[in-house]
């Protein structure tokens, strides 16, 4: 208990030093929001510890959320204030995840229907933002339903796979395909909905996580071959149907040939990472205003410029720590639904981080998604806090 308290005090010290640094370049009128983020996570830690949950997840998550707020505040006060509003809602979302006993719930079809309803509602009533129809507006408020739909889909897919595992084994022949059919048809419709909305980043994320999860629950070479074929076919169809996907692919492969157009964002991100060197230029000393959509898609590049290689290595280490804790929780539970729920959440985080960071360093094409817990986006932050609570609840259920 004493070491845990010291860790939270050390976190408060780091946040305080960051505020002192920021004060050199701008007014700290919203300094209390960073203090409230620290206090909110500390209260969640006490609550989770009291309920027997995995409170060790909260310290790295607090570092990520705090770091994201600091960089958003450094860019624009309005972005930081809006992110803080999302964090306040995220506190409630975490508690819902922690106390909801999601891992023990058998209502798999409810999860699937709710996910589909969110995406259908977005298709029918959504608004276009940034080339994708991925937002719903409720009065003055807007949110991205896909952020919550993908969590519901993981809850649904895990239960379907685990409860039907004996029927899904391909070792008995292709007769088992009739049990894969409903799941494949449902996921195909979900991905089609996202494709029509031109929200291809989440579609790729969901397909990747679904393939890995189904391969873990029901290992089969035929399944791997089928998914590989579907992936290549999907890429080919996407390139034919979506011009913006072809533009992204071209910018990824030949950014210098499109330096003043599609390749501009990629090149500016690479310049930012390169200029950061080992220790960075310092918070506020970077050229973030030169990178388009830096607060959402490319905040990792600004972190690299201002905190250097040491900063981005520390940032990625926090994600690795959270993944390690999540997988350890999965390994220590005897309930397969709890186990694969935890694995699914870890995959959602890890694959998204890989896609975002990989796109910035030109390892993979850009997907237009946010960096979990860090980038601007209240819908994303609320959904991430919900997943954090669900993952902590696996520890709580196991500890009973």
Chain segment 24-40, per-residue pLDDT in tens: 767 788 889 999 999 99
CA dihedral 344, 349, 350, 351 (to 10 degrees): 80
Q: Are residues 389 and 252 in the same domain?
A: yes
Nearest of 182, 153, 152 to residue 167 by alpha carbon: 182
Residue-number span of the structural domain to which 150 is assigned = 108-241
Q: Which residues pair with 136 in a beta bridge?
A: 143
Q: Are residues 62 and 91 in the same domain?
A: yes
Instruction: Calculate the average pLDDT of the chain.
Output: 86
- Overall domain count for the chain: 2
Q: Are residues 123 and 57 in the same domain?
A: no
Give the predicted TM-score (pTM) of the model: 0.92
- Predicted confidence at residue 80, as pLDDT, reads 94
The distance of Cα 65 from the centroid of its chain, to the nearest Å, equals 12
Q: Choose one of 241, 259, 279: the last residue of a domain.
A: 241
The model's pLDDT over 294-330, given as tens digits with 9 standing for 90+, comes to 999 899 999 999 999 999 999 999 999 999 999 999 9
How far apart are the C-alpha atoms of 387 and 364, rounded to whole Å?
26
Would you state the structure tokens that stand for residue 77, as one six-digit string? 């006060």
Query: Left (φ > 0), alpha (ψ -120 to 50) or beta: where does 137 sit?
Result: beta
* pLDDT confidence band for 398 (50 / 70 / 90): very low
- Predicted confidence at residue 383, as pLDDT, reads 96
* pLDDT confidence band for 7 (50 / 70 / 90): confident
Q: Are residues 16 and 36 in the same domain?
A: yes
Which residue's entry shows tokens 């390994």? 331
Q: Does the pLDDT at position 88 exceed 80? A: yes
Pairwise pLDDT comparison (4 vs 67), residue with the higher score: 67
Q: Which residues pair with 129 in a beta bridge?
A: 132
Q: Are residues 29 and 85 in the same domain?
A: yes
Q: Which residues pair with 135 in a beta bridge?
A: 127
Q: Choose one of 241, 264, 290: the last residue of a domain.
A: 241
Q: Are residues 258 and 387 in the same domain?
A: yes
Q: Are residues 188 and 147 in the same domain?
A: yes
Q: Are residues 142 and 262 in the same domain?
A: no
Q: Does the pLDDT at position 367 exceed 70? A: yes
Q: Are residues 142 and 260 in the same domain?
A: no
Which residue's entry shows tokens 């060790």? 56
How far apart are the C-alpha atoms of 219 and 210, rounded to whole Å?
13
Q: Choose one of 241, 276, 304: the last residue of a domain.
A: 241
């Amino acid at each position: 208990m004493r070491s845990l308290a010291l860790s939270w005090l050390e976190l408060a010290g780091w946040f305080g030093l960051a505020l002192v640094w920021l004060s050199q370049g701008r007014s700290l009128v919203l300094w209390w929001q960073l203090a409230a983020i620290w206090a909110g996570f500390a209260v969640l830690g006490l609550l989770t510890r009291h309920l027997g949950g995995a409170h060790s997840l909260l310290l790295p998550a607090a570092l990520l959320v705090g770091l994201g707020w600091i960089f958003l505040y450094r860019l624009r006060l309005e972005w930081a204030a809006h992110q803080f509003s999302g964090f306040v809602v995220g506190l409630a979302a975490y508690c819902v995840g922690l106390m909801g006993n999601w891992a023990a719930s058998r209502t798999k079809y409810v999860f699937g229907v709710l996910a589909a309803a969110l995406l259908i509602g977005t298709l029918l009533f959504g608004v276009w933002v940034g080339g994708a129809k991925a937002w719903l507006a409720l009065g003055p408020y807007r949110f991205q339903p896909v952020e919550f739909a993908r969590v519901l889909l993981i809850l649904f897919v895990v239960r379907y796979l685990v409860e039907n595992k004996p029927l899904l084994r391909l070792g008995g022949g292709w007769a088992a395909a009739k049990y894969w059919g409903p799941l494949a048809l449902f996921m195909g419709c979900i991905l089609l909905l996202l494709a029509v909305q031109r929200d291809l980043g989440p579609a790729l994320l969901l397909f990747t996580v679904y393939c890995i999860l189904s391969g873990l629950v029901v290992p089969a070479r035929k399944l791997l071959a089928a998914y590989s074929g579907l992936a290549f076919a999907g890429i080919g169809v996407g390139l034919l149907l979506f011009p913006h996907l072809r533009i992204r692919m071209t910018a990824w492969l030949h950014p210098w040939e499109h330096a003043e157009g599609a390749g501009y964002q990629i090149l500016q991100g690479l310049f930012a990472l390169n200029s950061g060197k080992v220790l960075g230029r310092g918070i506020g000393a970077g050229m973030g205003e030169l990178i388009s959509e830096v607060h959402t898609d490319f905040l990792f590049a600004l972190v690299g410029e201002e905190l250097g290689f040491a900063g981005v290595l520390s940032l990625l280490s926090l994600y690795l720590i959270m993944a390690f804790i999540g997988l350890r929780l999965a390994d220590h539970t005897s309930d397969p639904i709890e186990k694969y729920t935890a694995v699914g959440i870890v995959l959602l985080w890890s694959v998204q981080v890989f896609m975002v960071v990989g796109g910035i360093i030109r390892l993979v094409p850009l997907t237009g998604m946010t960096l979990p817990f860090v980038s601007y986006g209240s819908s994303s932050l609320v959904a991430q806090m919900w997943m954090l609570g669900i993952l902590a609840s696996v520890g709580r259920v196991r500890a009973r």
